[in-house]
Amino acid sequence: SKPATDQLIRAELGHSTWTFLHTLAAKYPANPTAEQKAEMKSFVEMFGRLYPCEECGQHFREMLGKEPPKVESGVEFQKWLCGLHNKVNLRLGKAEFDCERLNERWDCGCKV
């Protein structure tokens, strides 16, 4: 496909994926069980191997190597993900997101 199309797919895929990931993080328990921690750790690792944009996945895996997922609590995981997303923002020349304001943007949808 044409490079312009690739960029559009990458942006749409990326936006939808960040929505999924931040919502997943918002819903991750404040006090996860050992099983939930192990599951989230493997999810993040598998996500990095399977993400369907090769270059993005490669960067993601490099970032994971430097900063492994923090799965001890909901707040830690949410902050970790926010920091990672900010690294991608930086690389793409996008504005940094204020991680103190995560709750205003991302809702766990816990009532549904």
Q: Is 18 in the site for ligand FAD (CB under 6 A)?
A: yes
Q: Which residues contact 29 (CB under 8 A, 6 or more apart)?
A: 36, 74
d(CA 100, CA 48): 25
- The H-assigned helical ranges of the chain are 3-27, 34-50, 54-66, 74-91, 102-105
Q: Which residue is nearest to ligand FAD (CB)?
A: 14
Q: Is 15 in the site for ligand FAD (CB under 6 A)?
A: yes
Q: Which two tokens stand for residue 42?
A: 């493997």
Q: Which is nearer to ligand FAD, 33 or 48 (CB)?
A: 48
Q: Which is nearer to ligand FAD, 1 or 34 (CB)?
A: 1
Residues within the interface to ligand FAD (CB under 6 A): 10-11, 14-15, 17-18, 22, 51, 55-56, 59-60, 82, 85-86, 88-89, 92, 94, 97, 102, 105
